[in-house]
Amino acid sequence: MNQGLYLSIRIGSLFNPSPVSQMVIEAITEVQVTNSVGSQSGFQIKFTLGKLSPLNNLLQSGYFDPRSRVIIIATVHGTPQVLMDGIITKQDVTPNNQPGQSTLTVTGLDLTAMMDFIDLTGIPYPAMPMIAIVNLILAKYAVFGVVPLVIPNIINLVANPVERYLQQQGTDYSYLNALARANGHVFYLNPGPEPGMSIAYWGPEYSKLTTSQPALSINLDAADNVESLNFSYDGLAARQYLAVILEENSGIPIPIPIPEISILKSPLAKQTPPNLKTARLEDIAGRGLGQAALRVLGALMATPDAISGSGQLDVLRYGHILKARQLVSVRGGTNYYNGLYQVKSVTHNIKRGEYKQSFNLVRGGVKSSIERVSV
């Protein structure tokens, strides 16, 4: 690897994966890791597999079999970061007559895969607030180093258990995501900060807990630190929702106040785009005021952001590893598109002597909400 880049990998049991040998590291040709809001993180590692390669013995022993745990750590300029903590879900071997061209590829997902194995439909959660339900579900994964970070929803409803109570539908992973969507939240795992640990985040997508990263600079000559960056303004993304419920006794239509989502979303843009589309929320009539407000909130938070950006950078030139699900500032993209963005997704592509990242950025409007973009 490069002088400014050191890659270390641990593979083994679910509870105690061990650092791989130098022989395994030298056989790696490419590592790819993808982190994204709204979906499971994944990884893929490619190895050369010669006829006399010691990797054949490891392959025969089940070392690379599905359910083996994999932890990938990248150290850039002396700062380590856990890129992935997950399990192998697929293995591919491609023999080739040409010397050194046979390959072994292992593919996997983060530890949310462990939450998606068993259908636990029917488990009751009587008289429990949402934050308690989420923490209870996540507690069973503490043995794998999963630490919950659960942000309470704005509207906290606890049903009378005599009348009704929540029952789980599907696996833990699918149910946590369903609860998140219903409350205008997201659910994902962030690997680290230490190897063998993961933070299970359940809360607003644009949490004010996130911090800004070093600025992405483009079109600034010697100050450039990204290879490419382009922006897109989708005028059809923003929309106005109409929500009306009927009062249970009189049947009188009651307008539902639309929650102000700026308290959940960081004020990333100065100018919000106009709503070109109007959509009516179905399945509102017959719900209580609290449940209807949550339905509206969930729809608002699920609405795509109008402004997006995508690009690629060289990590060694950038000097840091760009993290998904956090904020980053952009400069050099004209005043219309400069400022803070949410890093929606990042794909790490690591080869011998090379570490590049492709990324996607989003925010709700145009023009910077901050006066000065910090470097």
Three-class SS of 76-138: ECCEEEEEEEEEEEEEEEECCCCCCCCEEEEEEEEHHHHHHCCCCCCCEECCCCHHHHHHHHH
Mean pLDDT per 10-residue interval, the chain, length 375 residues: 80 95 93 91 95 89 96 93 97 87 95 96 90 95 96 62 76 95 87 95 69 86 91 80 64 59 60 69 57 60 80 94 92 88 95 94 84 66
The verdict on residue 366 lying in a domain is: no
The verdict on residue 96 lying in a domain is: yes
Question: Does residue 122 sit in the same domain as residue 111?
Answer: no
The verdict on residue 220 lying in a domain is: no
pLDDT the model gives residue 263: 45
Characterize 150-168 residue by residue with b for buried, 16 or more Cβ atoms within 10 angstroms of its Cβ, and e for exposed. bbebbbeeebeeeeeebeb
Question: Does residue 149 sit in the same domain as residue 64?
Answer: no
Question: Does residue 250 sit in the same domain as residue 170?
Answer: no
The verdict on residue 373 lying in a domain is: no
Question: Does residue 74 sit in the same domain as residue 124?
Answer: no
Asked if 144 and 15 touch (Cβ cutoff 8 Å), the reply is yes
316: left (phi over 0), alpha (psi -120 to 50) or beta: alpha
Q: 15: domain CATH number?
A: 2.30.300.10
pLDDT the model gives residue 293: 58
Structure tokens at 156: 């906290």
Question: Does residue 60 sit in the same domain as residue 146?
Answer: no
Final residue in a domain of this structure, among 99, 115, 131: 115
| Number of domains within the chain | 3
Structure tokens at 64: 């690379």
Question: Does residue 61 sit in the same domain as residue 107?
Answer: yes
Question: Does residue 81 sit in the same domain as residue 155?
Answer: no
The verdict on residue 344 lying in a domain is: no
The verdict on residue 223 lying in a domain is: no
Between CA 181 and CA 299 the distance in angstroms is 8
pLDDT the model gives residue 142: 97
pLDDT the model gives residue 278: 66
Question: Does residue 91 sit in the same domain as residue 61?
Answer: yes
The verdict on residue 266 lying in a domain is: yes
Q: What is the largest CA-CA distance in the chain?
A: 81
For residue 350, how many other CB atoms are within 10 A of its CB?
23
Between CA 157 and CA 146 the distance in angstroms is 26
The verdict on residue 150 lying in a domain is: yes
Asked if 46 and 107 touch (Cβ cutoff 8 Å), the reply is no
Final residue in a domain of this structure, among 154, 183, 203: 203
Final residue in a domain of this structure, among 115, 149, 171: 115
Please give the residue range of the domain that contains residue 188: 118-203
